[in-house]
Amino acid sequence: MSKESSDTLAALIENKFLHIFGREFVEAVKFAMEMCKYNFLPKFEQLQAIYYLSRGKDVFVHLRTGFGKSLIYTLFPYVCDALRSSPNNDCRSSIVVLISPLISLMDDQMAKMAERGIHSVKLTDLKDRQVEDLRRGKSNIKIALLSPEAFTSLTVRETLRELKEHIVCVAIDEAHCVLQWGRDFRSAYNELKDIRALMMAGLPITALTATANCKTMNYITAKLDMEGCIVIKSSTNRPNIFYKVCILPNCQGDDDQLFQSCFGFVVEQLLQHNDKADKVIIYCTSTNDCATIYEFFENALGSNIYDNANQLLVNMYVKVMDDRTKKDIIAKFTKPDGPLRVVVCSSAFGLGVDCPNVRTVVHFKSPDTLMQFVQESGRVGRDGEASKSLLFVGGREFGHYKAKLTKSSAMKMQFDELETMKGYAMNTSTCRRFLILHYFDGSDEAEKQCKLMEPQNCCDVCFRSAGGFVSTSEKELRCLSIGKTANKEVVIYPQLSGKQKSEVRQHLTKYRDGLVACKETSLFGVDKVTGFTETVIEQVISKCDTFYSIKDVHDNVDLWGEDHAIAIFNIVESVKNVNTNPV
């Protein structure tokens, strides 16, 4: 990043956050952003989490998939360096311990940090000399990674004791695994709360996840000894995802006919567009289903399963594969213009896989919890573009899951979670988005978010009740006209009428009034309490013609949080869609 860009970003951070967090903290954030080579404005929720951690508070971070939770623990050691430094002591020894569930995820995290010049290491790979350098504050390592199982090692625990003066935080990534895995086959998760006894008194812990309802959060915070922690949360709503459920057809044992009915549209895309086809993830509940579905693609595509450079367009990813093959598949799929367009996989594929331009996630048979379903369907549309979650449900799988739980003497909570997933999958009358948001965010938030959605963009239940569907491509063609001047394409945005902008203003004012009503009286006034000022409303009115994604809102409006951006985008979209022929 150039010095000019760095100075501009620093000024933006100061302008937006100085009055909220104060000079000392904002200066530390500016230093950390520069050290990590980030060239974008951090979100309010990210800095809020870092701020409380810097005050020694435990923080539970529940932010949706793709929000940028990793920024919290990558910035934090540098923020601590800045806060610990003085004119006579330039501190550079702060370390964050990052507990991550999978080796493949650790490797991916370390590779991304290395790209930004952030030095990290697996704690189990540390040599004696490196430990000594870290202990003396002479190392540039900022993130030390380990798995829950590694924490049970006496050697690792002794290393943590030696480094405790420099460890400023323990971050537990993908914290829902504490519940999802810890109570069944990874008992090491249950020992993580012992980490406090090895650290300096008052060391903060942060648990980060995209999928946790109130019960899950309470379970996790109890297991990690984090009761009374600060909770940083945004809405679970992903307004760019269309949710659809289909009952698996009865094909009398003919797998080819069954798979053609489910995946024929994927085959058609690959035949038409080759390595430019939309990216698709197909989740299966068994390795056997992965293998038979992959075999279907081999037979359906023939030689067309390869691109012009003889690279596979479709591949399979399951737990039993060797690490090298897994890494190769992830690298090819996450590369924006990579050849791999479809991955048929088990639940082993997902955690930490950062591929923004996946357009469809298909579940072939239902998972056993809504938490897993939302975690996996959340891999779609992370770039904010219109995308789809498609679930093919047989129904019999729920009986199989119930029998398995009964045999293992599972807790009532697990049976409840199974019933919740079954309710989502077999439902035909209630908005699917509402069911998801009700589970994670409560009925009030669910109702608020769903009222802002257009039926044709929400789910199959709402689409049927609305009586007619306009595809995304047709809608986009209505919204945009393309002109050409001087051999250059120019996008001409249709202007909202004065009447439409007046409607937008009314909805924004109503939304702002609702925020005020929910807040306690503050000495700082309405604007500083909500962050949703009259200036924000004026910025929206002046730029709403150009809003075609949530990113457009962030780029044009000075906002604190992600929830405000989502609300603004939905309000503008609702006015556009209702008034297709503006006066």
- 261: tokens are 């009915």
Q: Answer yes or no: are the C-beta atoms of 344 and 267 closer than 8 Å.
A: no
Report how far residue 195's alpha carbon sits from residue 171's, in angstroms, rounded to the nearest whole number: 11
Count of beta carbons in the 10 Å neighbourhood of residue 485: 7
How far apart (Å, rounded) are the C-alpha atoms in residues 375 and 30?
32
Mean of the pLDDT values across residues 315-335?
A: 91
* Residue 559 DSSP symbol: -
Higher pLDDT, 4 or 448: 448
Instruction: Specify whether the CB–CB gap between 233 and 49 falls below 8 A.
Output: no
Contact 176, 215 (CB under 8 A): no
Examine the pLDDT at 2 and tell me if it is beyond 80.
no
Tokens (6 digits) for 473: 């491509």
* CA dist., res. 572 & res. 557, Å (int): 13
What tokens does 196 get?
Answer: 């406090």
Residue 418 confidence (pLDDT): 93
In which band, very low, low, confident or very high, does the pLDDT at 583 lie, cut at 50, 70 and 90? very low
> In DSSP terms, which residues pair with 144 in a beta bridge?
97, 121
SS3 state of residue 372: helix
User: Could you tell me the pTM of the whole model?
Assistant: 0.74
Q: If you average pLDDT over residues 481-501, what whole number do you get?
A: 54
Lowest mean pLDDT among 88-92, 251-255, 525-529: 525-529
CA distances (Å), origin 443, targets 161, 217, 225, 347, 435: 45, 17, 28, 29, 9
What percentage of the chain carries pLDDT values higher than 90? Answer: 47
Laid out side by side, the sheet with 342-345 consists of 241-247, 387-393, 358-364, 279-284, 342-345, 314-317
Q: Is the pLDDT of residue 273 over 60?
A: yes
Summarised one tens digit per residue, pLDDT across range 33-51 is 999 999 999 999 999 999 9
Q: Regarding the domain with residue range 3-233, which homologous superfamily does it belong to in the CATH classification?
A: P-loop containing nucleotide triphosphate hydrolases (3.40.50.300)
Residue 144 confidence (pLDDT): 94
Give pLDDT, residue 491: 38
Which CATH topology does 241-466 take? Rossmann fold (3.40.50)
Instruction: Give the angle subtended at the CA of 559 by the CAs of 556 and 565, to the nearest 5°.
Output: 75
Phi and psi dihedrals of 393, rounded to 5?
A: -115, 135
Give the model's pLDDT for residue 578. 55
Looking at the chain, which residues constitute the CATH 1.10.150 domain(s)?
498-578
Distances (CA, A) of 223 to 20, 351, 357, 372: 32, 21, 35, 20
pLDDT level of residue 517 (50, 70, 90 thresholds): low
Q: 308 pLDDT band (50/70/90 cuts)?
A: confident
Report whether pLDDT(289) > 90: yes
pLDDT digits (tens, 9 = 90+) for 216-226: 899 899 989 99
- Does 485 score more than 50 pLDDT? no
Q: Is residue 329 classed exposed, middle or buried when 0-12, 13-18 and 19+ CB atoms within 10 A define those classes?
A: buried
For residue 21, give the 3-state DSSP assignment. helix
> What is residue 98's three-state secondary structure?
strand
Report the C-alpha gap between 82 and 409 in whole angstroms. 51
Confidence grade of residue 405 (pLDDT, cut at 50, 70, 90): confident
Does residue 172 have a pLDDT over 60?
yes
* Packed helices 287-301 and 255-273: angle between N→C axes, nearest 10 degrees: 60
- Cβ atoms of residues 323 and 103 within 8 Å: yes
Greater confidence, 147 or 343?
343
The whole-angstrom separation of Cα 201 and Cα 56 is 10
- Give the residue from 45, 50, 47 showing the smallest Cα distance to 64: 45
Domain with CATH 3.40.50.300 in the chain: 3-233, 241-466
pLDDT at 467 over 70: no
Q: Give yes or no for a contact between 233 and 211, defined as CB atoms under 8 angstroms apart.
A: no
Residue 169 has pLDDT above 90, yes or no: yes
- Is the distance from CB of 164 to CB of 198 less than 8 angstroms? yes
Residue 349: pLDDT band (50, 70, 90) is: confident
User: What is the overall mean pLDDT for the chain?
Assistant: 85
- The pLDDT tens digits of the residues spanning 406-440 come to 887 777 888 889 999 999 999 888 899 999 999 99
CATH number among 1.10.150, 2.60.40, 1.10.10, 1.10.3470, domain 498-578 = 1.10.150
- Asked if the model's pLDDT at residue 315 lies above 90, the reply is yes
